[in-house]
Structure 1
């Protein structure tokens, strides 16, 4: 999580304006970067389209040769704001803790029955009932109240009725138990009156005849209980251990007071920690962007010497927190500090869950429901929800408003086609006929995304079982119980475990920042020539896609190129060239390793025998390298990125700086686990007698990285489980196509088409079909649909079984379909990249002019060079 997001989520909402202005300082740093690059622009906040109060115009005559002289005063301004707020809140906390300690001591001196006394002829219990914050002995909570005539009459009437006729109110202090009767429950009143009768013979004689045997039994039990408690107690009875109503009220009152102060104290401590992290982060970013060396000396000489960040201030705050824990132990937990600490931390967590979780979630849900125009302010940032999809039909009827969207129309069409196909016999075999209907139904939903892709995949096992598509070895339809066991047993295959192992490696590399360290170190060697920088980024995007998936790799690269994009001249052609180059290279990287994309794993799962990693790399690495170089040349010809927008000079690229941090022990551990796992995958065939399958090897990184604490449960929850379910649904559908007999029917038709064709023409025909389909639908879904067909085609080829070869080619070409903005996640991410004015870098023309030729080039490389390499290694 970025620090700006962490700051917004962890900050106290009421104190938001008192934290370091991290976002404003970061935008200023980017403006300074532009100034140093020679782009003369004002300090206008282009991202927010406003001028922030933090960033003013540079002083007249000021030259940005020394950006420290301009940046340090802004840091000092923020530091002064933080110090002033902290000192104010710390003083308020100190006063309230001191007053609270005096209240606790005063209550202990007054004893457990102070609430039954009266001062200056006023009814204290009446006053206590009117205001639960009132405390007779509190120097802070007692208040000067002005009594209205109606309230005085009400108190006088209660005084006379409770004391009896002719008894003045001032003499009621002798009848203390009855004075609080109105605040007790009926059972407590009976117990209290019985106890009073035993202590006061006159009162007991006057009221004893009106008590039933049940009431007397209750009173006796109450006396016995109180005597046992008082006998077993370690010391004299206090207001914190007494069992009367007043003592309980005081315990609850002080529990609330101490808890509120504890939450305030811990929030203030968190305020200090967050602001220190903010200064450290912003100084680190400043040093990185401006190539300065300000962080260490400013943190040590200025920030750490400020009042909030001094060790003495931290000790004072911790001492107050310890004092509150001690007071809580005295007043609530009978002197147990461990239990007091546990309860206070529980209250703190509940407070955080309410203020920083529930409140934010309510605001987000409010925006998602479309209130406030779909926009909201969260921590000073405007969040705008996308407009809902416009309907094709929007009618108002007596039963309500009917709205039909494009996706709903696709869903209705898919259902209609499914029902029609189920009731038409056009394929031999009832199971094959129903399986074809399911295949067409799923294909329409996958291609149109009428419902989420993983939902369609999850629905497939239901259809296979309910419509009795699965057959046994004798060709008879399996009953639903047996079919259920069969379908679910094939869904979680070794391929799925291999996919989870790949997610684990990718998550560990990303969490420990190994991916960023390696990428930036390589890019730091690229130099300043646009053509070299473009090739370096494409190579890095391809390599990163091999290990952290072609979903995360382009996102990482697009983050790393922001410093370059910010310093380019307006309308420079290098920006769109670089963005589309990264996207195309990430797609190519999707074919480079077995775990870089789900389509590769699906292909390996259908191979018999499965291909090991060494054989895969022997083909994929040369194919990917040649494809990257050819696409790089295509982009150079298409964009001519080295020329400036005016055409009068060549642009210079700001080099990427290598990180200065050294590898930590955790990073070395992750590197070791990843290298061992990959090495075992490469020699999986040699050790299959011991490990069985590559899916078993995938358990190694899961166990080692999660058990060592590198990854947590939250990291496991954030895996791309939708991709897992898509793959599982595809495996189930492929098994259904095979077991229903549909694949045999398709095989007969395919044999007729290719009966007179040689192997290589079949390769070219299959490559063209796969490329077209993978361009318009998800690469994973394309492999789900086409890999079983490729396997059947390969089995029916004259002259031998070429199923593994055609499956391999199909899996590689699925990653080359990248001619449209929607062709794969890298293209979708690239299509959303915007400049500072909110203008998109790429248009559909960029993808048609560059993506389509790049797709054809990459597919031809697979069908030529890849084919020759596969034949050379014996696939």
Structure 2
């Protein structure tokens, strides 16, 4: 990465004007070059910048004399900014230490003041000052940050959302605000007095007493007590220490980035002008400037260490390692917030193996090591055992004649082997999918459709690879393109915030609004990115809620369940829908899909909403005497740009063509061809770049391709004919609706415990064969029902990416909002409700459209 891009990517947005003007200096260097030697025919390539520089150039003191004042001006600017920020942050750190000491000395008195202040509604403090101390950005800073995001350097997808106001801060945590003012202007830094040995002895006695008598004992302190006052006080200190730690770390990074900037630009200047200014200027000027001296760096390091100690004392009960870990985690999250879009975050998780697209998370970077079993001196993981069992079962089936026919028997071995590998996730799901065509070809499973002889490997290769990249795969890529364009141009955020701004402040209405938005977003940007976006939007709401309220877990659970339901609402919202459409004959157009899926989704959302209201009772305030009021979401104020209108037009046109595909089939051939339109329109006009294409969730594409190859192998090998006889015996004499009632719970159970996509890969061909054996050929109906129910398996924390994301949501003290019991009490009933809706209302609608 070029340094200019690295600077824009790593800079603090609010400080952008105070960084080294690297691009301007670089342009001046090239101007000096032109004036020094002119445009020479023989030029070399500057490997660092990818630009040209002369092979021969004669430097002179005149260029140094012209360039040094520019560097001096940048040094002066950076030094002035650094000194100002350093004074502010050090003063705030000193004030924070004094507040901690005051809390240590007056803890019991503050407890009494906290009790007296519970009924105090005095909100006459200076909100502007509080907002500034709470980290509120000025409108100019927010606009600058947003403009940088739109130019591709920094992301601020939620810049328009307002921060928590001072009044809401005091309303939520008035308790600790009564004892100290964490938002007042920083006082001049005073030398911290040395604590006497008697004071330190008192602290030791208090600490020992707390350990011996428990958290609520008489000798307990604010930092170890479990009272409401202590909880609120720790929360406020946690927020302020964390914000200050991030600010000091940002200032340290500011120094390092600017030093690298001077080193880089001087290196470029010397190379282009054949000068020797770099070493002299760095040693004589830069190293002697205030921000870059060793004493300044030591000051920042000592301040960070002091903040870690304060955090350990106030939040982590003295655990220094936990404090260091948590503060660094907050710092990483802050950097991710500044840099990434929601879509890029989701894609990076998928590329690291974080999710199969719509099913379960696989292996992520921060995942705990899989459980290890000791076999003698060997340490064997459970995944290794699962892989060994899969291989063993596959080898046994290859050498034992289970079904008639060599090709069919080998295909059965491949099917069982792949199923076990997918279910146990012994290796990443897409890797198992790539094993499928390898095994189909090398084991000679594919047969000639005319004489039923097994094809040679070269002929089987051409057949398998020709069916793997099908119109269904192109439809999936088209869906990725639409989702990426909506996210990159912030259309999803603009529309969602405008809808949510109408929800008001009633908890039940806000819950329903977020569930509806989560479901709708899942239809178009997948049920992987949609919950990530929604969980980001609710952070301002969660910060303003009182402690121990039921609304927070209720809202998080509602978003996750609604995102799962959204996975069934449109053909491109999840791969299982595309797999279902690909198996239908004739394929269902979008209009008929929406006729069934949208009413089913709406009814399911409403019933699950009522379930959550009855389960959590989110409208009740924790005090039990009043009704909870929610902070309204402010709509984004930006108007649509020309680029956003273009993206909207292309998306609507593509969806419209998909809906009427059967009517224009003689023109376009298949829905996969229509999916090429957004690809050409967005990449051709520069809305999306090559990097966006590279960041598509290709693991999902290869997962679907492996599933298609396996389905074709089952058909070509003759295994489907063997299964046909078994299925015919099972469903003989059963009515169509009886088959639906038997099939529905089977699909639900399987999709709850394995990936939704893999469940559809395994179950859709079975549903198709069952339908073919029923009078009237109802294969498309059973395929449709199977595809929809695959998205309703949401009873466990690992049942789909939305559940996994919800299960990892934490409050501001690092406590998880949801437990396994939340999913058992709400996720399991919600899965059953959604399945019943599909098998009743969905079934009737399918019959109405002629399935």
The whole-number CA distance in structure 2 between the counterparts of 1:521 and 1:427 is 59
Shift in Å, 1:290 = 3.5
The whole-number CA distance in structure 2 between the counterparts of 1:716 and 1:672 is 21
Aligned: 1:835 with 2:835:
no
The whole-number CA distance in structure 2 between the counterparts of 1:433 and 1:528 is 62
Q: 1:283 to 1:805 in 2, by over 3 A?
A: closer
Shift in Å, 1:279 = 13
- 1:76-225 matches, within 5 Å, as none
2:501 aligned residue (517, 524, 534): 524
Shift in Å, 1:714 = 1.0
1:388 aligned residue (351, 357, 369): 369
Contact 1:375 1:382 in 2 (8 A): no
- 1:295-306 matches, within 5 Å, as none
1:646 alignment counterpart: 623
1:826 alignment counterpart: 802
The whole-number CA distance in structure 1 between the counterparts of 2:155 and 2:454 is 67
The whole-number CA distance in structure 1 between the counterparts of 2:702 and 2:412 is 21
The whole-number CA distance in structure 1 between the counterparts of 2:734 and 2:155 is 68
Q: 1:688 to 1:67 in 2, by over 3 A?
A: same
Taking only aligned residues, the RMSD between alpha carbons, in angstroms, comes to: 4.2
1:7 alignment counterpart: 11
Shift in Å, 1:2 = 14
2:523 alignment counterpart: 546
Aligned: 1:667 with 2:667:
no
2:677 alignment counterpart: 700
The whole-number CA distance in structure 2 between the counterparts of 1:282 and 1:606 is 38
Cα offsets for 1:834-868 (capped at 9, x unmatched) = 11111111111111111111111111111111111
2:725 alignment counterpart: 748
The whole-number CA distance in structure 2 between the counterparts of 1:279 and 1:64 is 37
Q: 1:43 to 1:497 in 2, by over 3 A?
A: farther
1:419 alignment counterpart: 395
Shift in Å, 1:596 = 0.3
1:851 aligned residue (827, 831, 837): 827
Aligned: 1:68 with 2:72:
no
SS at match of 2:729: helix
1:497 aligned residue (453, 474, 486): 474
Shift in Å, 1:287 = 5.0
Normalised by the size of structure 2, how large is the TM-score? 0.63
1:442 alignment counterpart: 418
SS at match of 1:686: helix
Cα offsets for 1:165-199 (capped at 9, x unmatched) = xxxxxxxxxxxxxxxxxxxxxxxxxxxxxxxxxxx
Shift in Å, 1:538 = 0.5
Shift in Å, 1:386 = 4.8
| Structure 2: tracts of 5 or more residues without a match | 21-74, 93-99, 104-120, 168-260, 276-320, 334-364
SS at match of 1:381: helix
SS at match of 2:615: helix
Shift in Å, 1:376 = 11
1:613 aligned residue (590, 593, 609): 590
2:758 alignment counterpart: 781
The whole-number CA distance in structure 2 between the counterparts of 1:727 and 1:601 is 9
Q: 1:459 to 1:76 in 2, by over 3 A?
A: closer
Shift in Å, 1:684 = 0.5
Cα offsets for 1:785-826 (capped at 9, x unmatched) = 00011111111112x111111101111111011111111111
Shift in Å, 1:693 = 0.2
Cα offsets for 1:75-101 (capped at 9, x unmatched) = 8999xxx9xxxxxxxxxxxxxxxxxxx
Contact 1:288 1:657 in 2 (8 A): no
The whole-number CA distance in structure 2 between the counterparts of 1:784 and 1:449 is 15
The whole-number CA distance in structure 2 between the counterparts of 1:283 and 1:854 is 31
| Structure 1: tracts of 5 or more residues without a match | 29-40, 45-60, 83-269, 293-317, 333-371, 397-401
Shift in Å, 1:70 = 3.9
Contact 1:820 1:852 in 2 (8 A): yes
Aligned: 1:585 with 2:645:
no
Provide the aligned length of Structure 1 versus Structure 2.
581
The whole-number CA distance in structure 2 between the counterparts of 1:322 and 1:832 is 44
2:205 alignment counterpart: none
Shift in Å, 1:380 = 9.0
2:837 alignment counterpart: 861
Normalised by the size of structure 1, how large is the TM-score? 0.61
Shift in Å, 1:395 = 5.2
Larger radius of gyration: 1
Contact 1:376 1:382 in 2 (8 A): no
Q: 1:820 to 1:380 in 2, by over 3 A?
A: closer
Shift in Å, 1:646 = 2.9
2:341 alignment counterpart: none
Shift in Å, 1:460 = 0.4
The whole-number CA distance in structure 2 between the counterparts of 1:285 and 1:560 is 11
Shift in Å, 1:381 = 3.2
Contact 2:619 2:627 in 1 (8 A): yes
Q: 1:277 to 1:747 in 2, by over 3 A?
A: closer
The whole-number CA distance in structure 1 between the counterparts of 2:571 and 2:686 is 27
2:782 alignment counterpart: 806
The whole-number CA distance in structure 1 between the counterparts of 2:11 and 2:467 is 46
Q: 1:62 to 1:410 in 2, by over 3 A?
A: same
Cα offsets for 1:394-446 (capped at 9, x unmatched) = 754xxxxx320111111111111111111111101111111111111000011
Q: 1:21 to 1:803 in 2, by over 3 A?
A: farther
Shift in Å, 1:289 = 4.1
Q: 1:559 to 1:329 in 2, by over 3 A?
A: closer
- 1:300-449 matches, within 5 Å, as 331=274, 381=331, 385-393=366-374, 396=377, 402-449=378-425
1:181 alignment counterpart: none
Aligned: 1:459 with 2:519:
no
Contact 1:8 1:379 in 2 (8 A): no
